[in-house]
Amino acid sequence: MIELAHHILGETSEPILLESSDDNRMTAIALAQQAKRRIDIFTHDLDKRVFDDKAFVEAVKQLVIGHSRALVRVLVQDSTHAAKQGHRLFHLGQEVTSKIKFHQPSREHIDHHGTFMLVDDAGFSQRRTHERYTGNASFNDSQKVRELQSFFERAWNLSEPDAYLKRLSI
């Protein structure tokens, strides 16, 4: 398992190799715990092993209730499975609708195979495909974050609120 205790968002540039769901989960938690403004997630199905962790959702909750301008945006290609299983992040999003947004990508981005999470213009975690847990991360790589953020912004601007989750909220 990877050691992240000394990684500081916006300071630690050491690349991190992700090899398992535990590595991805621990990195997501550590990044979210240090977030001050924004978390953006692009995901196929909001992987339960990574994003449904109690500590991760608590870190997201602390971000959105503790920072007046905080925002969490999630582009999820297929939310049905996670929503049916009672995903913790979906429940939090239903409680804090103004600060946690779930959208579905447009046709142009629906088949993107990667999964990534961006935090405060500084940190990221990324998997080239949602089917495997190998990937990379950094707590301070603004160039890589800008590259992924550019893709995310284009996808977000063409996306629509997730219709399935909207039905669940009614």
Decide: 53 and 87 in contact? Cβ < 8 Å: no
Structural domain includes residue 56? yes
Structural domain includes residue 152? yes
Structural domain includes residue 13? no
52: its two tokens: 């449904």
Structural domain includes residue 57? yes
Residue-level pLDDT at 170 = 42
* Domains identified in the chain, total number: 1
Look up the CATH number of the domain holding residue 58. 3.30.870.10
Structural domain includes residue 1? no
Residue-level pLDDT at 132 = 93
Structural domain includes residue 39? yes
Residues ≥6 apart with Cβ < 8 Å to 74: 40, 41, 43, 46, 89, 93, 100, 101, 102, 103
Please list the rounded mean pLDDT of every run of 10 residues in the chain (170 residues). Answer: 92 96 97 98 93 97 95 92 80 89 90 92 94 96 97 96 62
Residue-level pLDDT at 134 = 97
User: Could you count the other beta carbons within 10 Å of the beta carbon of residue 143?
Assistant: 7
User: Residue 127 is part of which domain span?
Assistant: 20-169
Structural domain includes residue 51? yes
Residue-level pLDDT at 13 = 96
Structural domain includes residue 131? yes
Closest of 16, 35, 33 to residue 118, by C-alpha: 35
Residue-level pLDDT at 82 = 72
